[in-house]
Structure 1
């Protein structure tokens, strides 16, 4: 919800729909808060990479709306299978 409010404030338009918020909450409830946060972070990374590719190849324009739910679901699947390993890797990098 904070991401939606901040994005809307800075972009002056809706940055994230309530469906995305509900989906992210459901994913977080299913995966747990630690892996859920990792999943949310991965969804932004996936989204950024795909959107940059779409913009560079001129398949999408900057003002086009791009659904965020596929990135949330893809990140949830990655986190479901690799979440513990990603969390351990992240924590080992911080506390070396």
Structure 2
């Protein structure tokens, strides 16, 4: 993965989708993947999310140090907005049991 900022952005974007669509298996798997990358490659833990009308705010531990960052809501919510506008393009496919 690229930078910590990129991974946090990607994780938060898909987490917003997963939170809005808890039965979406692709969103769940992707969110889990980014959580694993954040923990194993970037040593990030204890992520807390808050938001206001304009921004999402993240507070987290990175290598044992408290860090903060923020992202514009319109950028984070763009994927969820697209899914909501054209839900037929984002059908949920259940996991295949082997």
TM-score (norm 2): 0.31
Structure with higher RCO (Cα < 8 A, 6+ apart): 1
Structure number with the higher helix fraction is: 1
Structure number with the higher strand fraction is: 2
